[in-house]
Amino acid sequence: MSLGGVELIEVAAGAYSLGEGPLWHEGMRRLVWTDIDAGRVHAMGVMDESPLTLYEGAKVGGMTLQRDGALLLFRERDVARLDADGTVRSLFDVDDPQTERFNDVLALENGSVLAGMVGKDETSGGLFRVGVDGSMRLLFRNTKYPNGMAVTRDGRTLYYTCSTRGVIVRFDLSGLLASEPESAWDLAEVVWRCTRGTPDGLTMDAEGRLWSASWGGGRVVWLSPDGEELGEVGLRERNVTSCCFAGDGLGMLAITTAGGGVYACDVGVRGVRGIRGVAEHRSAILG
């Protein structure tokens, strides 16, 4: 069902080739997102200013916010730091011949990062853990497009989107981190199978419910922790890529698209059932 009473506003008009990875930067009080194919990172206040271009260069698949406020850019073949003054510094290279570039990433409470990498074929992509020392460890492969992730507030459960299979699964996070790559996928429990479009980016609200962007489905689907469809936000663009909570009190749902603009809808106090997000953990990679 549609989420009644939610007004969807295009806050950044234009045709972003592959808008992705939205992130609310509390220090800047701006929404930050990447246009992957254009090799740019943009930022803007939610509904109150025009977008700024913070970065141009190699493709950025995903970003995290470092504990000191810098942006960590997960690019094609390296991880780089973008400081407030615009300085970009590569921290370390990535040598994995089976993959093309980073995709969605997620910081964990201890400062490490879970990072998906797009495969060169249908099974060579996978999920990696990036340690605070810059080391990378493969968790599993067997996908081409690893996508959106979210971790429960108690840190025990990871939700992970496999676009190749069209599913969202959940893992016991500690079990996944302790497992071997060959057997890790056996720990996955399918929570939701997308029947319209392909599941892409993912975020979680303060009550532990999931919001999944549907590539080709023209919507963001609202799900219970067990995968029950609670509602959806429909968009005119078919290729909806990702979403995050943004703005004061994290009461705005910001949505990115491919070939279209960036949108926001108020799901906070004035919206649906007082829905709000929770602040994402910050990374501490080599910092």
Indicate which residues carry an active-site annotation: 200
Question: How would you label 147-182 residue by residue, b for 16+ Cβ within 10 Å and e otherwise?
Answer: bbbbbeeeeebbbbbbbbbebbbbbebeebbebeee
Contact 31, 23 (CB under 8 A): yes
Per-residue DSSP letter, 2 = B
Q: Residue 241 in contact with residue 259, Cβ under 8 Å?
A: no
Report whether 99 contacts 119 (CB < 8 A): yes
Residue linked to tokens 């990871």: 158
CA pair distance 276, 266, nearest whole angstrom: 9
Instruction: Tell me the three state secondary structure of residue 273.
Output: coil
Q: Where is 171: in which H helix or E strand?
A: strand 167-172
